[in-house]
């Protein structure tokens, strides 16, 4: 129901929904993440994550950093271009979410926010 409207926003920035999720997850993270951390967070297979990371690296949106502890491992970090793109895409996404919620009056929006917050808090346990 909401997916087409959200995908239109992502496409406007040249991103798929999965690519948006990868970039947004890295943007929220305080440190670079391993591909394993990313695919576990986003519930993708390791192969699918590797393919997406490769594509985003080729587009200059991500960079791999070798791990100091384990030469076989690497971490993924946003490039300056990737950070700018996801910041713009996030702003578009938030604007779109506000538009989708505009059918609700302010009291209903507050109620929805409270209910979603309750669900998220419970999910983090």
Mean pLDDT of 12-21: 95
**How is the chain split into domains, by residue range?**
3-123
pLDDT at 12 over 80: yes
- pLDDT for 1 equals 64
pTM of this prediction?
0.84
Per residue in 49-102, pLDDT (tens digit) is 999 999 999 999 999 998 777 667 789 999 999 999 999 999 999 999 889 889
Q: Give the side-chain half-sphere CA count within 13 A for 112.
A: 12
What DSSP string describes 32-101?
-B-HHHHHHHHT--HHHHHHHHHHHHHTTSEEEEE-SS-TT-EEEEE-HHHHHHHHHHHHHHHHHHHHHH
Domain 3-123 has CATH 1.25.40.10: no
């Amino acid at each position: 129901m909401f997916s087409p409207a959200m995908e239109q926003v992502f496409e406007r920035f040249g991103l798929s929904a999965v690519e948006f999720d990868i970039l947004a997850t890295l943007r929220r993270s305080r440190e670079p993440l391993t591909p394993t951390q990313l695919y576990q967070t986003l519930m993708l297979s390791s192969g699918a994550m590797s393919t997406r990371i490769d594509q985003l690296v080729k587009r200059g949106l991500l960079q791999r950093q070798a791990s100091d502890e384990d030469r076989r491992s690497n971490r993924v970090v946003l490039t300056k271009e990737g950070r700018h793109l996801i910041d713009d895409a996030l702003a578009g996404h938030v604007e779109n979410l506000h538009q989708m919620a505009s059918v609700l009056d302010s009291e209903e929006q507050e109620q929805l926010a409270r209910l979603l917050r309750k669900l998220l808090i419970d999910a983090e346990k």
